[in-house]
Amino acid sequence: MSSAAFKAAAGAAGIGGVTGGGILINNHLSNNRFTIKELIFEHKTKVAITEAKCTSLLEEKVSGESDPKYREFLTGCTRDKKVGDLLKGFTLMPTGGDYEAKWKKRFTKYKQAKQGTAFPIKDVVLGDSDSENTEEHLKKLKDGCSNQWSKAVTGNEEQTYLDALKDWCSLEETKNDG
């Protein structure tokens, strides 16, 4: 084989190798793409908004969290995740009406659950002389529960904190209702 023919054959093989390698790399990269839905599911502090324009984008493929399409989705189609979002199957107990007796019973038991200076929910504190029969005092538990339920998630919430919110603040029957 002449030197010129060899160089031409080697050049063609090189181009074919580069093209084949490019296809191989492209296939590998496309397999490492995620849907926006997958990334949002893993996100600790954001939750997708269920508007039509947003839900239609959930199956879009993106390269990762730095992908411009994903960043745009975060800006326009998510909200901060609230602690209540972590409490699947539980509802914040409403105030007023038929729920007053339940709030009063929980208030009494909440005061009794104090250990030393610590209450079951760190940021919901009652005074020693507070009474379930005084609306201002009862409001401390109701508002405290509401504030904690609506608080933005940090991603570091402990299970004991979440369990305490379920036990003291949820509409569902708990050990504190008996």
| pLDDT tens digits for range 138-173 | 999 999 999 999 999 999 999 999 999 999 999 999
Q: Do 33 and 45 fall within a single domain?
A: yes
Question: What is the per-residue pLDDT for 64?
Answer: 95
Do 46 and 120 reside in the same domain of the chain? no
Residue pLDDT, tens place only, 109-135: 999 999 999 999 999 999 999 999 999
For residues 74 and 97, state if they share a domain: no
Beta partners for residue 115, in sequence order: 118
Q: Which domain holds residue 73?
A: 3-81
Query: Of 4 and 91, which is predicted with more confidence?
Result: 91
pLDDT of residue 4: 55
Q: How far apart (Å, rounded) are the C-alpha atoms in residues 163 and 147?
A: 16
pLDDT at 20 over 50: no
pLDDT in tens, 42-75: 999 999 999 999 999 999 999 999 999 999 999 9
Q: How many CB atoms lie within 10 A of CB 72?
A: 13
Q: Are residues 70 and 145 in the same domain?
A: no
pLDDT exceeds 70 at position 18: no
Domain count along the chain = 2
* Amino acid 178: pLDDT: 75
Query: Scanning the structure block, which residue is given the tokens 């009474």?
Result: 131
Residues 34 and 55 in one domain: yes
19-37: b (≥16 Cβ within 10 Å) or e: eeeeeeeeeeeeeeebebe
Same-domain pairing of 90 and 24: no
Q: Are residues 91 and 141 part of one domain?
A: yes
Which pLDDT band, with edges at 50, 70 and 90, does 22 fall under? very low
pTM as predicted? 0.75
Same domain, 89 and 77: no
Q: Are residues 62 and 109 in the same domain?
A: no
Name the band, by pLDDT with cuts 50, 70 and 90, for residue 177.
Answer: confident
